[in-house]
Amino acid sequence: MQSRDYRDILAGLLLGIAGLAVTIYAWNSYEMGTIRRMGPGMYPFGLGLLMVLLGVIIAVPAWSRSGPPIEVRIYSPLFVLAGVAAFAYVIPHAGLIPAVVAVVAISSLAELKVHPVSLILLIAGLCLLAYLIFGFALGLPIRMFDWSF
Amino acid sequence: MDIFSNIVLGLETALSLTNLAYCFLGVLLGTLLGVIPGIGVLTAISILFPISFHLDPTTALILLAGIWYGTTYGGSTASILLNLPGTPANAVTAIDGYPMARQGRAGVALFMTTVASFFGGSVGIILLMLFAPTIAGFALSFRSPEYFALMVMGLVAASMVSTGAPAKGLAMVVVGLVFGTVGMDMYTGVNRFTFGHYELSDGISLVALAMGIFGIAEVITSVRRVNVKEIDPATLTFKAMKPTKEEWRASWGPMLRGSGIGSFFGTLPGTGPSVAAFIAYAFEKRIAKDPSRFGNGAIEGIMAPEASNNASDQTAFIPTLALGIPGSASMAIMLGALLIHGIVPGPNLMAEQPSLFWGLIMSFWIGNLLLLVLNIPLIGIWVRLLTIPYHLLFPAVLMFVCVGTYTVSNSAFDVWVVLFFGALGYVMRIFDFPAPPLLLAFVLGPMLEENFRRTLLLSRGDLSIFVTRPITAVILAVTLVLLVWTLVSNARNRRKAA
């Protein structure tokens, strides 16, 4: 336990900042219009203000109460998200199978233990599964291999 | 048309070979993903959502709905055997189910929860058949202000009952509404928040958003946390599944009461099967002659919640189909599936698409029957599934998330969107912001804005329209009471705890 609820203070703060960004962006970029004939900016402008208000409601009471520590994992989000990014980057350049290999191989590192044999079997199995479901059974127009680097 | 000819029409649709096959596929996949802990119903639906794009709307909905109620059936397996709920809706079942398994009564528990699930599901479907047409008829007189008020009530209720602080739930509703504004403004044609990406002018892809905040975020939090435990196969033979006369007798009451409670909470906005199961359990414990039996393997403690969560799964379709207003995030995905196929649910759906409406409902009967037949002999297979180590499972989940998103419109951009929402979903978990209200608000957002702006156009900018129309005023007043009451009682509880 911590003397203040830093998790909620930070949560409210982040929400408030995001809300402020929405409000200011809507105000600067889009027409406000009138209540009767609203422009594109009025509604997001109002939502942004609501976010700021809720941010305050979350953060202020948290100042005077104890709270749980903030738990952040580093490796799991890093490898999982890197795997997804690799898929998104590879698929337009090299096709489905290399993209599947990329996401499976990179995200598996999130376990922080590498079992080479089972990893290779897993990759082979999932490539086959991807081909069978998306290529063979559903007949989607995706290239399995498409080298265009 | 009378109810009888509707049933015949529905059966004709649901019993076509394609629909039957996809109903089977849906409940099978649903059970499978429900059995595996760490994959909730929302993750299951969003992973399989892209497949439904390539089907006709009725079949797509039959498939998605099968996954939805299939996960609730399957979820009890892990609750009972591992004390790890397969889905949040089955969490309460573990309180008495796991002690039963430890006493060697796992077979009985699995058999009886399947019976309870079927019973609850049946009650829910009957109520759906009886009430959806009536409610739709009533709603024909609704105009923009009423729809606006109903949506506000749904969103507020969804944020109030979700776990954690209500202010955080509300905050996620507003954030979801903001994401809902991305894309072209329907009145003026201006592109909002697209930052120069033409891919965003149709709005953020629902699939990508759901996969990110549920699928990816769930994998990130579960890696290196979910462990497989040993299970004793001797308790799972057919002979071990046979309940005693005593157990049957003790089960009827909880099953009936659970179905009633579940059906009621299923129709309310915001209260999904998890809340329904919890309340049914608490109710049984309250009225029991000897409450101390609960938590030590009381059969009532698994029958009531399992009947309740399945009943609420079915009645949740009442507001979604009759009003076009989903009460929960999962129903929002169902609505999204319909919208993508160009079908707008609402009071006119039953008249305009009778074969879709009644076909879907009759497929619920078939699906529930399949689940009853499927689950009892297949329990052995589901149990073996539970022993697949998570380090092999999660890369497969990620593969399906990536390929599934990509295939919706052959767009790598959507996979980057998944990445964004995966990161956001994880940050939300760090700060204990609930994700379901965000998804619900994202789906309802464009409709909410449209009805809000149209209302004020009709009233010539006069805000008093929200209090002068009786139905609108009542709905908004109820919402306000709910809001104030929850915020005040929450603040009071926190002060007491501190």
Q: Which residues from chain B sit within 8 angstroms of residue A18, using beta carbons? A: 175
Tell whether the model's pLDDT for residue B203 goes beyond 90.
no
The pLDDT of residue B270: 67
Find which of B15-19, B176-180, B182-186, B297-301 is predicted with most confidence, using mean pLDDT: B176-180
Higher pLDDT, A149 or B426: B426
Stretch among B34-48, B171-185, B229-243, B420-434 having the lowest mean pLDDT:
B229-243
* Chain B residue with the nearest C-alpha to that of A144: B403
If pLDDT is split at 50, 70 and 90, which confidence band does A71 have?
Answer: confident
Render pLDDT for A82-118 as a digit per residue (tens, 0 to 9): 999 999 999 988 888 999 999 999 999 988 887 888 8
Q: Which of B216, B432, B457 sits opposite A80 (nearest CB)?
A: B216
- Measure B382 CA to nearest chain A CA, in Å: 20
The amino acid present at B300, given as its one-letter code, is E
Mean pLDDT, range B408-430, rounded to an integer = 91
Which are the contacts of A28, defined by CB distance < 8 A and separation ≥ 6?
none
Tell whether the model's pLDDT for residue B235 goes beyond 70.
no
Q: Which residues from chain B sit within 8 angstroms of residue A122, using beta carbons? A: 392, 395-396
Give exposure, B70-95, as e/b (b: 16+ Cβ within 10 Å).
Answer: bbbbbbbbbbbbbbbbbbbbbbbbbb
E-state strands within A1-147: none
* Chain A residue with the nearest C-alpha to that of B54: A138
Higher pLDDT, B360 or B104: B360
Q: What is the average pLDDT score of chain B? A: 84
Tell whether the model's pLDDT for residue B398 goes beyond 80.
yes
Mean pLDDT, range B5-26, rounded to an integer = 87
Q: How many CA atoms are closer than 13 Å to the CA of A102, on its beta-carbon side?
A: 20
Query: CB distance A40–B165 less than 8 Å?
Result: no
Q: How far apart are CA B92 and CA B54, in angstroms?
A: 37
Quick one: which of A92, A62, B428 has its CA closest to B436?
B428
The pLDDT of residue B164: 66
Q: Which residues from chain A sit within 8 angstroms of residue B190, using beta carbons? A: 30-31, 40
Find which of B274-283, B412-421, B440-449 is predicted with most confidence, using mean pLDDT: B412-421
Query: CB distance A51–B412 less than 8 Å?
Result: no
If pLDDT is split at 50, 70 and 90, which confidence band does A44 have?
Answer: very high
The amino acid present at B351, given as its one-letter code, is A
Tell me if residue A2 falls in helix, strand or coil.
strand
If pLDDT is split at 50, 70 and 90, which confidence band does B494 have?
Answer: low
The pLDDT of residue A15: 95
Which residue(s) pair with B192 in the sheet?
B183
Q: How far apart are CA A109 and CA B38, in angstroms?
A: 19
The pLDDT of residue B231: 63
Mean pLDDT, range B326-330, rounded to an integer = 81
Mean pLDDT, range B248-254, rounded to an integer = 89
Q: Which residues from chain A sit within 8 angstroms of residue B422, using beta carbons? A: 80-81, 84
ipTM of this predicted complex?
Answer: 0.93
The pLDDT of residue B413: 93
Q: Which of B220, B403, B406 sits opposite A73 (nearest CB)?
A: B220
Q: Which residues from chain B sit within 8 angstroms of residue A83, using beta carbons? A: 395, 398
Mean pLDDT, range B106-124, rounded to an integer = 90
The pLDDT of residue B49: 78
Stretch among A3-12, A57-66, A137-146 having the lowest mean pLDDT:
A137-146
Q: Which residues from chain A sit within 8 angstroms of residue B416, using beta carbons? A: 85, 88
If pLDDT is split at 50, 70 and 90, which confidence band does B125 have?
Answer: very high
Query: CB distance B187–A40 less than 8 Å?
Result: yes
- Measure B63 CA to nearest chain A CA, in Å: 15
Q: Does residue B410 sit at the A interface (CB-CB below 8 Å)?
A: yes
pTM higher than 0.90:
no
For chain B, domain boundaries: 3-497
Mean pLDDT, range B23-42, rounded to an integer = 81
* Chain B residue with the nearest C-alpha to that of A22: B178
Query: CB distance B396–A126 less than 8 Å?
Result: yes
